């Protein structure tokens, strides 16, 4: 069996296991440490001089904010405030910390992606205190520091660890490529936990599917728009990187915000459904990437 089929099968199995065993969501406290470990492996191989912001990074930040605000504004105009808030929390979420890991697995430009990650986290953390009162209403005084702490912890810990290891063991800069399969295995484990948590959350809420369906649909549309808009912004040289930057989002932050500040339970289901969708998009991208690399390799089998 070729590597593409094995990896695709692993992605499918991860979703199935998580969906069939929602009780595994009790292990979701491991998710943050899993992401930190994956990022640490990725950061080991970074070429630091290449971490330079450019015009595309600024476009991605503007598009990220526009995606959340535009989705909210359109639905608000149609007289659907609950759907509007759900769409806002889907679109405004910053770039996911695991996005550079996915880009690394697809042999993309990791330095571009890490730069986008840092700028996205900083920009959205600064923008949220200005946007939240407009969308939700009043928020408490410690809101900014609460969000900043949650966001930066995922970046600072692996960055400091990677820098320390690189300084002590210069040869460790080569470990990132050698540990690619470990990163993939960690991502598969993360998908199991994510699927389990999503199913557990949705199952625990006694809301009829008729009420959840519009929120699920809106979440899908925002997710697809993020990936496609990112692809368009980055075309032709950074299409994978920009697609990840706008499509794969740190929904942990916005789920927390929606649960804390939104009045209607349906609102936080928006980013919950988004968790499922952006990981399905990633699984599809990974499958297409591995299939393309397999097809591009010459057939060395004896005839």
Q: What is the pLDDT of residue 4?
A: 61
pLDDT given for residue 49 in this prediction: 82
DSSP letters along 178-231, please?
HTHHHHHHHHHHHHHHHHHHHHHHHHHS---HHHHHHHHHHHHHHHHHHHHHHH
Domain boundaries, the chain: 3-292
> What's the pLDDT tens digit per position in 29-41?
888 888 888 888 8
Q: Say if residue 129 is preceded by a cis peptide, omega within 30 of 0.
A: no
Which pLDDT belongs to residue 226? 97
Is domain 3-292 in CATH 1.20.1530.20, yes or no? yes
Q: What is the pLDDT of residue 303?
A: 43
Determine the pLDDT at residue 140: 66
Give the chain's residues under pLDDT 50: 301-303
């Amino acid at each position: 069996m070729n590597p593409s089929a094995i990896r695709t099968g692993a992605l499918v199995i991860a979703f199935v296991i998580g969906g069939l065993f929602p009780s595994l969501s009790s292990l979701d406290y491991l998710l943050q440490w899993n992401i930190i470990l994956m990022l640490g492996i990725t950061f080991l191989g970074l070429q630091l001089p290449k971490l330079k912001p450019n015009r595309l990074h600024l476009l991605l930040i503007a598009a990220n904010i526009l995606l959340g605000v535009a989705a909210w504004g359109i639905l608000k105009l149609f007289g659907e405030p609950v759907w509007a808030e759900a769409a806002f929390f889907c679109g405004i979420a910053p770039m996911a910390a695991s996005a550079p890991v996915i880009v690394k697995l697809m042999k993309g430009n990791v330095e571009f992606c890490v730069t986008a990650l840092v700028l996205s986290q900083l920009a959205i953390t600064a923008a949220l205190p200005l946007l939240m009162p407009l969308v939700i209403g009043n928020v408490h005084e410690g809101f900014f520091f609460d969000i900043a702490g949650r966001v930066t912890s995922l970046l600072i810990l692996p960055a400091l660890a990677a820098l320390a290891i690189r300084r002590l063991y210069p040869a460790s800069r080569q470990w990132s490529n050698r540990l690619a399969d470990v990163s993939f295995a960690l991502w598969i484990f993360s998908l199991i936990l994510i699927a389990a948590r999503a199913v557990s959350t949705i199952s625990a809420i006694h809301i009829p599917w008729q009420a959840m369906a519009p929120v699920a649909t809106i979440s899908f549309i925002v997710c697809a728009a993020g990936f496609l808009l990112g692809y368009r912004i980055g075309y032709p040289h950074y299409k994978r990187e920009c697609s990840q930057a706008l499509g794969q989002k740190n929904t942990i932050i916005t789920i927390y915000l929606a649960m804390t500040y939104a009045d209607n339970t349906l609102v936080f289901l928006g980013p919950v459904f988004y968790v499922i969708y952006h990981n399905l998009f990633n699984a599809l991208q990974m499958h297409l990437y591995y299939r393309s690399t397999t097809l591009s390799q010459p057939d060395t089998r004896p005839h």
